[in-house]
Amino acid sequence: MSSRKLSELLDLHRKTITIAYEELILQGWLETKQGSATFVANNLPEIKSEKLIDNPVFLPKTAGFNFDSKSFLHREVVKASDKLHLDDGFPDPRLAPLVDLARAYRSNLVHGNSYVKLGYGDTKGAYWLRQELAKYLNESRGLKITPDNVLIVRGTMMGMYLLTTAFVKTGDYVVLGEMTWSSAKINFLHAGANILTIPTDENGIMVDVLEELCKKHPIRLIYITSHHDYPTTVTLKADRRIKLLKMAEKYRFIIFEDDYDYDFHYQSKPLLPLASADEVGVVLYSGSFTKSISPAFRVGYLVAPEEVIEHLSYYRRIIDRQGDTMLENAIAELLHEGVIQKHLRKSLRGYRERRDFFCELLTQKLKNEVSFQIPEGGMSVWTKFDKSIDLVKTAENALRNGLYFSNGLQHNLPDYNINSTRLGFASSTVEELEKCVEILEKSITKV
């Protein structure tokens, strides 16, 4: 049919029809023959016509191919909300130096050579940030590193994934605490590792048990949160740290040290990380700005021997060519100016006040329902509920009343319900904490 005739039938301008024809020809739906008309392309497969429905589904819910769905990957995604919360131990973004960060971000965005700053950069991360981090970690954590010992990642989760991809093979033996960070466990399960567990007491993981495991199995790696054990918040004591390092050297296994909230220790000066005493290159040290600024700012780091950093950078490039160079340089600027260091000192005072107030509230309002040790550091209180309390239903009731906290199921041992959970205090003001405990008290549900 000619374009003139079709324009008359559809009551459209002829140019519109001509443009539509040209587009269909370019896409291969139509074809023209010299000296003749325009036709539907001959090479199109014959498609059976279907009756139109009133509410068509444009994309099916199920895939048209087979795949394995691993059950351990299925877990609740906890999102921030405007409800009151006693979370897992997150910082208060209201205290973060957001004005300074915005200034530094804009400065790095508009000044300097735009081709260099806005183009592809180093897979290991912005050199300025690695330089400032090396200086900061050397001063604050007793490390002895250079920028070549630092790999910038999106966060500890990404660092963990790179670690398992690069160094853990199917069948390798990996050791975790009996109660551990679920994201770490999932990474090792995904890598096909055989997971072994060791208990934790008031002095941290029981290193003597680890040695017995080393005699039975070729241990590839141990994952630890040495400064504030997850979830219990206890600190791994000095004698166990020394023994663990010697054991790693003897049995040649990797120590992945996740130092997620080193900067917030209240009782005394924090113990230096294992990485500060590592003389043989067995420790891979991890940290991030998630706890010091906010979870939204996805900048973390791995510290290791240069050879390891170079090796991990190859894997990082597979999944993420580079990070947010502007954000990395902005954080580098704040470290260089001392803004982040000042923020950490101020936050430490504020979080200590909130910890003391929250623990006093728990003692006054819930002394017959909960027990806990005042944490030496961190942003949450490891809280044990009385056996007569149904923690799951209590959490459900609290949520209906406007308070979120974890029901603690993720911390249970395979054959024992410990009826405990982490109650985060740092992200709430003292006024909000008072409201939280009031709701928690009203929401207690007996078995």
Phi, psi dihedral angles at 382 (to 5 degrees): -75, 110
Put residue 255 in one of left, alpha, beta given phi > 0 → left and psi -120 to 50 → alpha.
beta
User: How high is the pLDDT of residue 35?
Assistant: 63
pLDDT average, residue stretch 427-444: 94
79 pLDDT more than 70: no
More confident residue, 62 or 239: 239
Tens of pLDDT, residues 255-274: 999 998 888 888 777 788 99
Strand 300-303 and strand 283-288: the pairing is: antiparallel
User: How high is the pLDDT of residue 283?
Assistant: 95
pLDDT, averaged across the chain: 88
Q: Round to whole Å and give the CA distance between 318 and 165.
A: 11
Tens of pLDDT, residues 183-197: 889 899 999 999 999
User: How high is the pLDDT of residue 388?
Assistant: 93
- Measure the CA angle with vertex 126, ends 120 and 130; round to 5°: 160
Fold type of domain 96-337: Aspartate Aminotransferase; domain 2 (3.40.640)
What are the beta bridge partners of residue 301?
Answer: 152, 287
CATH class of 75-90+346-443: alpha beta
Tens of pLDDT, residues 369-418: 999 999 988 899 999 999 999 999 999 999 999 999 999 888 888 778 88
For the chain, give the percent of residues with pLDDT over 90: 53
pLDDT average, residue stretch 148-156: 93
What is the DSSP track for 59-123? S-SS-SS-----GGG--------SSEEE-SS---GGGS-HHHHHHHHHHHHHSS-HHHHTS---T
Q: Round to whole Å and give the CA distance between 121 and 102.
A: 21
Tens of pLDDT, residues 319-339: 888 778 888 999 999 999 999
Tens of pLDDT, residues 88-109: 888 898 988 889 888 988 888 7
What is the model's pTM?
A: 0.82
Residue ranges, CATH 3.40.640.10, the chain: 96-337
User: How high is the pLDDT of residue 109?
Assistant: 79
User: How high is the pLDDT of residue 42?
Assistant: 78
User: How high is the pLDDT of residue 212?
Assistant: 93
Contact predicate 234/240, CB 8 Å = no
Listed residue (299, 234, 292, 260) closest to 427, CA to CA? 292
Q: Round to whole Å and give the CA distance between 136 and 142.
A: 9
346 pLDDT more than 70: yes
Split at pLDDT 50, 70, 90, the class of 25 is confident
117 pLDDT more than 80: no
Residue ranges, CATH 3.90.1150.10, the chain: 75-90+346-443
- Measure the CA angle with vertex 38, ends 35 and 42; round to 5°: 110
- Position 149: which residue type? N
53 pLDDT more than 70: no
User: How high is the pLDDT of residue 81?
Assistant: 66
